[in-house]
Chain A
Amino acid sequence: GFFVSFVCFLLKVRGPPSAGSVKQRPSKRTAFRKFYERGDFPIAVQHESAGNKIAWKVEIENLDYHYFLPLFFDGLCETEFPYEFFARQGVHDMLEHGGNKILPVVPQLIIPIKNALNLRNRQILCTTLKILQHLVVSAETVGVALVPYYRQILPVLNIFKHMNVNLGDGIEYSQQKRENVGVLIQETLELFERYGGENAYINIKYMIPTYWSC
């Protein structure tokens, strides 16, 4: 009662230290960077003003997806140019044109995705979430194939799900630029549910209890 509160007042008792769940982790040198510097990727560096395009030396249809797609996903941990650009654009091109070559590779993509999300870097989070959205819709049954791996990729999303800025009636520009982490997570989970089959919702709800069905 009074004695305890008086002692607390005298000793200035502090709460427990922060656990650092949203603190950014340092990134390590990725295999993508090593292979890129060695020239192992079939991509050409274009110095013309092509904007956001990669020039492929080999047709994507002839690429070994089991070898290259996980490597490109590994590059999602990068934040420096040109590694970040080539990893992001390379993944996009391979998912856009992969067709039925993507599904067999899904299990090999989980660890690179988990590594990227675990860095808790806002930029990497946004990029990875957009890539996940693309992955789910890239081919038939990829969404269903991801369901067993929710326990590996959803925990970090649970931490950042409520990262929305309350501006009152102000305009949240990061939403329209697709850089708002909270909104991107919500979009991604909704896509997971929509394309994940009948077991998707219950598995998402198990990992993210505050999620509501769309």
Chain B
Amino acid sequence: KMSEVSEVMTKADIKPKSMHHAKIWSDDVENLYRFQQAGYRDEVEYKQVKRVDEVECWPETGFVKKLQRRDNTFYYYNRQRECEDKDVHKVKVYVY
């Protein structure tokens, strides 16, 4: 359920072309919320910065389970939704 990102984009240092704020919650918005809580734009930047191919996710829901921050500490996330409706509009959606 993670957003589809091509292998080429994750390897190159690609910057997003535009950004808008999320309006309604979805699985992708939930994962973006989790990446942004950890200090990254999205999955693309996380893979670029941390030099990883995979992000650890909950098998049942597909939501991000664990992220390593830039200071090398770890954030752990719940199996279920964490992004409340009042926080959805704060989530930034980047377009490449």
Contacts and interface: CB of A to CB of B under 8 A. Distances in A.
Interface of A: 44, 50-51, 53, 55-60, 93, 96-97
A55 B69 contact: yes
Interface of B: 37, 65-66, 69, 71-76, 78-79
A57 B73 contact: yes
Contacts of B75: 50, 53, 55-56
A53 B37 contact: yes
Contacts, number: 31
B37 A55 contact: no
B73 A56 contact: yes
A96 B74 contact: no
A60 B37 contact: no
B76 A96 contact: yes
Contacts of B66: 59, 97
A58 B72 CA distance: 9
Given A50-B37, A53-B37, A44 B76 contact: no
A43 B11 CA distance: 32
Given A50-B37, A59-B74, A96 B79 contact: yes
